Amino acid sequence: MSIVHVDATVLAALQDFMGEEYPVLLDTYLLDSEERLRMLREAQRDGDMQALRLTAHSFKGSCSNVGALHLAALCKELEEIGRRGQPDEAPTWIAQVEEEFARVKSLFQAERARFTG
């Protein structure tokens, strides 16, 4: 089974729905995601499992909304780690989230570049 980093049908639907605002949506998602990654790292550093859970939950939702399915699945796992209060597992999962976000970011930047000009 191959990993779906970004569901193209979701992006196409968003483009149809958002029209001229679609590039703004992509930009907003990328900026917001960078902030959520920072918040995840901070929660892990502070041992704040509730903040980790809530941030991962929020990030999961935004990833699902833009079709970043594998990233959403990783965030779901991180959310569960926060729910179970397992701070020792958080760094490994945060690293996986960061790695997947790097892939998604590259794909979204390429998608965004189609509208530059």
Give domain status of residue 3, yes or no.
no
pLDDT score recorded for residue 1? 66
Q: Whole-angstrom Cα distance, residue 89 to residue 61?
A: 21
- Tokens linked to 107: 């794909």
Q: What angle do CA 108, 111, 112 make, to 5 degrees?
A: 85
- Burial class from Cβ neighbours inside 10 Å (0-12, 13-18, 19+) for residue 70 reads middle
Q: Is residue 2 part of a domain?
A: no
Instruction: Identify which of 67, 68, 53 has the alpha carbon closest to the alpha carbon of residue 103.
Output: 68
In a domain, 1, yes or no: no
Q: How confident is the model at residue 105 (pLDDT cuts 50, 70, 90)?
A: very high
Domain contains 53 = yes
- The model's pLDDT over 47-63, given as tens digits with 9 standing for 90+, comes to 999 999 999 999 999 99
pTM of the model as a whole: 0.94
| pLDDT value for 4 | 85
CATH no. for residue 75?
1.20.120
Question: Is residue 101 one of the residues assigned to a domain?
Answer: yes
In a domain, 23, yes or no: yes
Range of the domain at 79: 8-113
| Residue 2 pLDDT grade (very low, low, confident, very high; cuts 50, 70, 90) | confident
Residue 73 falls inside a structural domain: yes
Number of structural domains found in the chain: 1
